[in-house]
Each structure stands twice: as C-alpha cells, then as structure tokens.
Amino acid sequence: MPALLLIAHGSRDPRHAATVAALVRQVRAQRPGLEVATAYLDHCAPRIPQVVGRLDDAVAVPLLLNRAFHAKHDVPAALRAAGAGLPVADVLGPSPLLRAALDRRLAEAGLDVRSEAVRARTGVVLAAAGSSDPAADAATRAVAAEWQRSRGWAAVEVAYASASGPRVPDALAALRAAGAAHTAVAPYLIAPGLLPDRIAAASTGADTVAGPLGPAPELAALLLERYDGARRAARAVPALTA
C-alpha cells in the first residue's frame, strides 16, 4: 500500500507543526498500518526532497483547503524538483467533512450547533486567509453558501485575514444588519498562526469565536478520502492506457 505523504505549507509559528503532527496521529488512528509521512513546503523540516527518497511508493496529499497558488504551482514544482513523480490528491475543499469540522469547532466554543432554532438566529463569519486567485476566493464563497443552505444558519458571510476583501468586523456588521441575533466567527484555516491570531483579534465584537480546524477527526477522514481517491485514479490510468 502506498504511503500517504502529507504536504503542509509550514510556518515559523511552532503551533503549526504541532497541529500537523496531531493531525497525522489522527490519520494513523483512523487507518492503522498505513505509513504516513510529512513534508513541508517552507519554514519547517523535513522538506519534500528529504522525505520522498525514503518512500518506496506514496501518494502526495496537500494539506490545503483551496486550489490556489500553493496547490497549482508550489506543490507540483517541489515534487518535480525532488524528482518525485507521485500521484497528487485533490485539495481538501469543498467537502461536507470540512463543514462538519467547522460545526465541531463552533460547538467547542459554546454554540449549540445541534439546535435548529439556534442556527436559525445565528449569523456566521467564515474567516479565511484570502487569496490573489479569484477562483480560490470563489470556492470559499461557495463553501459559505452551501454551509448556510445545508445547516440553516441565519446567514454566512465570508471575511479575509489577508488579501483584499471584507474583514471580520465588516462581515459582523453585515450579519447584524441582516438581523442575526447571535454572531459567530469560524476560522476557515487549518492551524494556529499569524492569520488565525489576526482573525481572533478582529473578532472581539462576535458572540462566539471558534478556533482553527486543527486536528479534527473530520479533517483526518478527509485526508484519507483524498488519498483513496488519488490512489484509485492512479490505478485506473494504466488500465485505460493498456
């Protein structure tokens, strides 16, 4: 069975690598016997060339929410530079499992997400990093729209911690103007760091503030889902060309 090579972005903030390590433990617990290795694009070690050489066979799974610059350019370029022609799984979003992880973090912050009545009077800010890639931001907005539709929130507004676009205070104001009785902020980010800290600092006007997705079991299940999909696709290519 190929190993799962988890490719994370990396950060100077030590909480990032600690979160990735905790997520890897979740993946291993959900699928005992699967070899899971981690490599980073930047800031952290080990880097991709240090890892791929010791793997006999692997599927690369990017720890990325959207198909933006890192997924389109950085990950393929790093694998090519390392001489690794590995199958590469799709990014994590969109997925119902991500929405379930967002629900989990809001519940942990004290919001009764199981109550239909609570959801109906709660407006949520989906606070993402933001991207210079319009398609990536459009994908985030689609996640917000589907989360509102599927869970019955009063409203879901998107805000960004970087790049252009609305900030968290703007989104909170829009929710209140739309009549939300309760406001919540849900970071659409994987690990603690500069951007989640920026979101938290801007969320003082919200009634509920969740933490980043972190090592949620839903996120671990999604990584395995993406691994399985890429593995099936890689097996299908030789069959189609035979």
Strand partners, 128: 160
46 prior amide bond cis, ω within 30: yes
**CA angle, 120 then 131 then 224, to 5°:** 70
Q: List, for residues 186-226, the tens digit of each pLDDT value.
A: 999 999 999 999 999 999 999 999 999 999 999 999 999 99
Contacts 24+ apart (CB under 8 A), 46-50: 47/78, 48/7, 48/78, 48/79, 48/81, 48/82, 48/84, 49/81, 49/82
Q: List, for residues 76-92, the tens digit of each pLDDT value.
A: 999 998 888 899 999 99
Give me the residues of the chain with pLDDT under 70, please: 163, 237-242
What pLDDT is stored for residue 51 in this prediction? 96
What pLDDT is stored for residue 236 in this prediction? 85
Per the prediction, the chain carries an average pLDDT of: 94
Residue bearing tokens 């291993």 = 28
Q: Which of 65, 61, 58 is nearest to 75 (CA)?
A: 61
DSSP H/E element including 38: strand 36-40
What pLDDT is stored for residue 242 in this prediction? 45
What pLDDT is stored for residue 163 in this prediction? 67
What pLDDT is stored for residue 237 in this prediction? 66
Q: Other CB atoms closer than 10 Å to residue 205's CB: what's the count?
A: 13
Helix (H, G, I), strand (E, B) or coil at 5: strand
Tokens of 4: 């799962």
